[in-house]
Amino acid sequence: MPDRVIPGPAESVAPPPAATPSAGHGPPPSTRPGLPWQAKFGALALIWGSSFLLMKYALHWFAPIQIATGRILFGAVTVTLLLRLVGGRLPRSRRVWAHLLVVGLLLASLPFTLFPLGEERVASALAGIGNATTPMATVLATAAMLPAERLPGRKIVAVGVGFLGVLVIAQPWQASGRPDLLGFGFTLVAGASYGIGWTWVRKHLAKEDLGGLQLPAALLVVASAQMVVVLLAWWALHRGAFATPWSSVAGATGGWAQPVLSLLALGVLGTGVAYLLQFDVVRAVGQQVGSLVTYVIPIVSVALGYLLLGERLGVWQLAGAALVLGAAVFVAGPNRRRPVSQAR
C-alpha cells in the first residue's frame, strides 16, 4: 500500500476521509484491534449513513449554519486531539495553509452547510442519495483540473448515466409530487464539492507530506475559522430572531437533548471515530475496498429515513437512485489496463 492515498477520479468520500497513514506521523491507535474489519466497515457505513438522520434531528432545534459550525468545531477538536495523541502535528508550510483555505471550504464548510440546508426541504434519504454524486463530480473535476490524466470513455458514459439518474429523481416534467428542486440541488452541490475538493488536493497538495490525521485535522481547523466568521455574520443579520449565535430556532419542537446530542455525534463520531475506523479498514483490506463504504451510505440513509422518520420515496426517486448508485460504482471501478505484449 502506498504511504498515503489521495482519492482520484475512481474514489469518493462522504464526509471527506482521511488519507492512509504515512511514515513519520505514526498511525492512529486502532479502535478495537481484535474486531474484524468487516465489523469496522459496517460501523463506518452506519456512522456516515446516519449523519443525514442526525441532521434532521438537529434541525428541530438549530438552523443549518449553526449545525455546520457546531459539527465542524466538534470535529476539529476531536481530530486535533487524536493527532496530538499519536504525536503528529499540523502543517507548517504557508503554501499548504493557503491551499487548505480552499480545501477546508470544499471538503467541510460548504458541504456541511448545504446538506442541512437541503434537508430543510427534502427527505434525509434524498440527501444521502445526493451525496452519491461525488464520484461523478470527481471525474468532471479531474478532466478540468488534471487534463493530463486520461479518463476512460466508459467512465464518461457512466457520469452521463448518473446525471440521468439525478434528472429522474428531480422529475422536472412533473408539476407536483416531485422533490423540492432547490433542496435537492443543495445536496447535489454538497456531494459534488467533495469531488472538486479532493481533486484540488491531488493537484496542489499531492507532493506534500500530509499523511495520517494531519490533513483532516488541518482542513477542519481552517473550516472552523471559516464557519465561526459565517456564523457571526449570519447572527448579525438575524439578531431579531436569535438572542445568541446558539439560540434555538423559532418554533423549536421537542426538548434540547436530542438535537444537541445529534450535533455532538455528527462532530465526534462522524469525524474522529469514523476516521479511526477508516484507517483500520484501509490498513486491513486496502483503499479500493475501503472506498466502497461510499455506496453503502445512501442505503443506510434511506433505511434510517424509512424506519425512524417515516420517509417514503416514490418509484421515480427509487429508479433514479438506482441509476445514480450504479453509475457511482461503475465510475469508481479500477481502470482496465491493456496487456503489454511480450517482446519477441
Q: For residues 74 and 316, which has the higher predicted lDDT (pLDDT)?
A: 74
Model confidence band, residue 186 (pLDDT cutoffs 50, 70, 90): very high
Q: Cα–Cα–Cα angle for 80, 86, 88, nearest 5°?
A: 65
- pLDDT class for 10, splitting at 50, 70, 90? very low
Given a contact cutoff of 8 angstroms between Cβ atoms, the answer to whether 88 and 221 are in contact is: no
The answer to whether the beta carbons of residues 197 and 107 sit under 8 Å apart is yes
Residue 342 has pLDDT above 50, yes or no: no
Low-confidence winner among 139-143, 157-161, 326-330 (lowest mean pLDDT): 326-330
Q: What is the pLDDT of residues 197-253, one digit of tens each?
A: 989 988 999 888 777 788 889 999 999 999 999 999 999 999 988 999 999 998 887
CA atoms of 44 and 191, how far apart (whole Å) = 18
Helix (H) or strand (E) holding 61: none
Of 138 and 265, the structure prediction assigns the larger pLDDT to: 265
- CA torsion sign, 77 to 82 to 85 to 90? negative
**What local confidence, expressed as pLDDT, does residue 26 receive?**
47
Identify the pLDDT of residue 291: 65
**What's residue 223's pLDDT?**
96
Element (DSSP H or E) covering residue 168: helix 153-170
pLDDT at 187 over 70: yes
Residue 268 carries which DSSP code? I
pLDDT of residue 289: 65
pLDDT given for residue 299 in this prediction = 87
Look at residue 111 in the predicted model and tell me its pLDDT.
Answer: 94
The yes-or-no verdict on residue 172 having pLDDT over 90 is no
Looking at residue 173, its pLDDT comes to 75
Q: Is the pLDDT of residue 105 over 70?
A: yes
| Lookup: cell for 281 | 479498514
Q: What is the pTM assigned to this prediction?
A: 0.83
Cis peptide before 2 (omega within 30 of 0): no
**Structure confidence at residue 120 as a pLDDT band (50, 70, 90):** very high
Is residue 241 classed as helix, strand or coil in its secondary structure?
A: coil
Whether the Cβ atoms of residue 63 and residue 190 lie closer than 8 Å to each other: no
What is the arithmetic mean of pLDDT over 249-278? 87
Question: In 10 A of CB 299, how many CB atoms?
Answer: 17
Please indicate whether residue 38 or residue 115 has the higher confidence score (pLDDT): 115
Q: What is the pLDDT of residue 52?
A: 95
User: Bigger pLDDT: 328 or 279?
Assistant: 328
Confidence category of residue 74, pLDDT binned at 50, 70, 90: very high
Q: Where are the domains of the chain?
A: 46-241+254-331
Q: Distance between CA 199 and CA 324 in Å, rounded?
A: 20
Q: Percent of the chain beyond pLDDT 90?
A: 41
Residue 141 grid cell:
473535476
Q: What is the mean pLDDT of residues 179-187?
A: 92
Given a cut of 80, whether residue 42 has pLDDT beyond it is: yes
Angle, helix 214-237 to helix 64-85, in steps of 10 degrees: 150
Rounded to the nearest 5°, which phi and psi values hold at 132?
Answer: -75, 0
Average pLDDT, the chain: 82
Residue 107, pLDDT above cutoff 70: yes
Q: What is the rounded CA–CA span in Å between residue 15 and residue 177?
A: 30
Quickly state the pLDDT bin for 325 (edges 50, 70, 90).
Answer: confident
Cβ atoms within 10 Å of 68's Cβ, excluding its own: 29
Q: Does residue 261 register a pLDDT over 90?
A: yes
Residue with cell 493537484: 203
